[in-house]
């Protein structure tokens, strides 16, 4: 459950938004679209990664970007 994980991160004082981490929203979206290429293993991002629109939606729904 991502909401519980986010709450624990907030409790620990960890940045949970792009703004808090000093990262632009565009950089977050780009990172999500290329993250599947970082390591050669199966992830929830699948083998082809996320589209720009899916990455932006994910970041907005989770509150990482506004």
Domain ranges of the chain: 2-61
pLDDT value of residue 41 = 79
List, in sequence order, the alpha helices (H) in 1-66.
2-11, 18-21, 25-34, 52-61
pTM of the complete model? 0.86
Q: How far apart are CA 30 and CA 16, in angstroms?
A: 17
Torsion of CA 16, 38, 59, 53, to 10 degrees: 170
Largest distance between two CA atoms of the chain: 34
Question: What is the pLDDT tens value at each position of the chain, 66 positions in all?
Answer: 899 999 999 999 999 999 999 999 999 999 999 998 888 877 777 788 899 999 999 999 999 999
């Amino acid at each position: 459950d991502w909401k519980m994980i986010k709450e624990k991160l907030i409790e620990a004082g960890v940045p949970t938004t792009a703004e808090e981490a000093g990262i632009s929203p565009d950089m977050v979206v780009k990172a999500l679209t290329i993250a599947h290429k970082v390591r050669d293993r199966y992830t929830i991002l699948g083998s082809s990664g996320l589209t720009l629109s899916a990455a932006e939606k994910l970041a907005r729904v989770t509150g990482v970007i506004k």
